[in-house]
Amino acid sequence: MLGRLLLSPPACRDIGRVRARWGGRTVLVTGASAGIGREVAWLLGLAGARVLLLARSKAELQQVAHQIRAHGGEAEVLVADLSKPDQVEAAINDIKANHARLDAVVSNAGRSIRRSAFKAAEKRDLERSLAVNFTGPAALLLGLLPLCRPGTVLVNVSTVSARPPAGPRWGAYQGSKAGFDVWFQALGAEIQVSGVRCASVYLPLTRTRMSAPTYHPSTPALSAREAAESVVYALVRPVTRVAPWWLGWQELAALAFPGLFRRLFGLVARWDKYGEKT
């Protein structure tokens, strides 16, 4: 409980409130096959939403859909890799062909990679991270804008790492997530006149399959369900930003003391316990 209080953004655990807002409505969740996306889809399905599940793994998506349907919910499976433009376009066309309106889109799919910049180029980390974390999700949202109506909510499931300061060995991940974060905020400023709300959710470390190789098991972290409850909060409350209480102070400190953070991260890069010594 103390860990959640210190780490977590606001959350909604009232399934009745979620049902009152989203029961019978159509919500697209990307990255819905595992982790946070799976938990968001489950909570929405349990609340009576019609959930469109999008991810790369058909087998895993079918498992999520089966779980939702077994509890009386509605779920539809859409298989697409957001790093592949042709698959993004196919998913957009499929959704448009079967749905006249989207009440919400939860942009959750992402790729986390932690590697030294000296090794990142040979692994094409930046190219892949930009495709999954920025250009793919952006193309999907742009293609689906014609289905958005007044009252539609677009949610970007982001990370506290997308905000200052920038840390060592996270360049591809932080750069791509921060780029999409700024683009998403610009989109929100433009489409708010149409009655469409954009909300960014900045999550701290969350224990998922994606983060498992990077952090020690004892590192304080949210569970996927706890993170999903913060995403749902953005859907049921009229907010544009959901973040831990300390994130604003972190951003201010990074702007006020850039030299201090540069020196600190220089030490981290040199003596990082879980990375290479440079």
Predicted local confidence at residue 272, as pLDDT: 63
Residue 237's φ and ψ, nearest 5 degrees, are -110, 145
**What is the residue extent of each domain of the chain?**
2-245
DSSP state for residue 127 in the 8-state scheme: H
Cα(254)–Cα(197) distance, integer angstroms: 28
The CA–CA distances, whole Å, from 175 to 52, 87, 190 equal 28, 24, 23
**192: helix, strand or coil:** helix
Predicted local confidence at residue 39, as pLDDT: 98
| Residue 161 CB partners (closer than 8 Å, separation 6+) | 167, 170, 173, 174, 177
Cα(59)–Cα(72) distance, integer angstroms: 20
Low-confidence ranges of the chain (pLDDT < 70): 1-7, 113-123, 170-171, 208-221, 268-269, 271-278
The answer to whether residue 215 is catalytic is no
Q: CATH classification of 2-245 is 3.40.50.300, yes or no?
A: no
Predicted local confidence at residue 164, as pLDDT: 76
* Of 173, 202, 215, 233, catalytic: 173
Predicted local confidence at residue 136, as pLDDT: 98
Residue 221 C-alpha from the chain's centroid? 16
Predicted local confidence at residue 169, as pLDDT: 72
